[in-house]
Amino acid sequence: MRRICLITGASAGIGAATARLAAERGYDLALNYRTDHAGAAAVADDCQAAGAQALLCPADVARPDELSAMFAAIDARFGRIDALVNNAGIVGQTAGVTDLTHDRLRRMFDVNVIGAMLVAKETVLRMQAQGQGGAIVNLSSAAARIGSANQYVDYAASKAAIDIFTKGLGEEVAPDNIRVNGVRPGLIETDIHAKGGEPDRARRMAHMVPIRRTGSAQEVARAILFLLSDEASYVTGTMLDVAGGR
Ligand code: NAD
């Protein structure tokens, strides 16, 4: 039987690459995104071409009402969730801490922390009811270790929250054989840098990476699929850095 995998933020970047690889590896997919319908539809087409079912699930992860509708749609279509990639996330424009506004901080933590925790909660409830275990991968960032001074300390702090959430939730649900791990990508070539106002950020900073290059979304996707798989059956509550040694 094909396993059902929910991926948040699946219309672009790491989420899209993970969806395509998951389809190849035999998962059926619930593909969440916020507004990029065309991007999500293209990912769904590729997943279906690989033999997977793909359900489009538009919802802002920061909106509990939209999340409720999303999980209802997944329940109706698949009736179960075996794997979650908690990937939706945002950065802000480059700024020092003295320039951060209340609105920006609220949005950063609503999406990156509260959204991820609510999605994990709803997924765990379903996995516990199913009684067959499951696997969750949360997307953190190397920023959680580095702090991102003068760039986006708020983003780094939100990802540090994801690290400890991964540890705590992992311990809580380990008796249910639900494994919870995190991936900390480094400088990965996606559009997130342009959304933060710096399209060339990853390439500009590549010289700071020990391996001397940026990473690809596919390289992060492979780490995520490993942690979801039975190959990682004794791995839980931990973080995997996919950051070229940085
Ligand atoms: P991206 O901007 O290319 O894609 C982000 C995805 O998240 C999109 O599908 C977007 O629709 C979705 N999204 C954003 N806000 C949302 C919301 N409120 N509700 C639902 N979906 C939403 O980003 P990416 O580079 O692929 O990043 C994916 C994850 O990896 C993020 O959590 C990011 O913080 C993390 N990450 C990325 C890098 C990097 O260098 N690209 C490094 C470290 C961590």
Task: Please check the confidence at residue 196 and state whether its pLDDT lies above 90.
Answer: no
Name the closest-CA residue to atom 40, ligand 1. 188
Task: Please check the confidence at residue 36 and state whether its pLDDT lies above 90.
Answer: yes
Pocket test for ligand 1, best of 29, 32, 63, 87 (most atoms within 8 A of CB): 87
- Region 111-118 average pLDDT: 98
pLDDT at 52: 98
pLDDT at 25: 98
Over the stretch 146-178, which tens digit does the pLDDT of each residue have? 999 999 999 999 999 999 999 999 999 999 999
CA of 54 to the centre of ligand 1 (A): 19
Instruction: Identify the domain containing residue 115 by its residue range.
Output: 3-242
Q: What is the mean pLDDT of the chain?
A: 98
CA of 175 to the centre of ligand 1 (A): 30
How big is the CA angle at 184 (ends 108 and 75), to the nearest 5 degrees? 70
CB under 8 Å to 103, separation ≥6 — which residues?
none
Task: Please check the confidence at residue 27 and state whether its pLDDT lies above 90.
Answer: yes
Task: Please check the confidence at residue 193 and state whether its pLDDT lies above 90.
Answer: yes
Task: Please check the confidence at residue 1 and state whether its pLDDT lies above 90.
Answer: no
Contact predicate 119/84, CB 8 Å: yes
- Spell out the SS3 assignment of the chain: CCEEEEECCCCCHHHHHHHHHHHHCCEEEEEEECCCHHHHHHHHHHHHHCCCCEEEEECCCCCHHHHHHHHHHHHHHCCCCCEEEECCCCCCCCCCHHHCCHHHHHHHHHHHHHHHHHHHHHHHHHHHHHCCCEEEEEECCCHHHHCCCCCCHHHHHHHHHHHHHHHHHHHHHHHHCEEEEEEEECCECCCHHHHCCCCCHHHHCHHHCCCCCCECHHHHHHHHHHHHCHHHCCCCCCEEEECCCC
- Region 127-141 average pLDDT: 98
Per-residue confidence band for 4, with pLDDT thresholds at 50, 70 and 90: very high
Q: CA–CA separation, 201 vs 184, rounded Å?
A: 17
Task: Please check the confidence at residue 239 and state whether its pLDDT lies above 90.
Answer: yes
Pocket test for ligand 1, best of 84, 190, 191, 203 (most atoms within 8 A of CB): 190
CATH of the domain at 42: 3.40.50.720
- Split into its structural domains, the chain has a count of 1
CA of 131 to the centre of ligand 1 (A): 30
pLDDT at 180: 99
- Region 60-78 average pLDDT: 98
Residues labelled as active-site residues = 155
Q: How many CB atoms lie within 10 A of CB 27?
A: 27
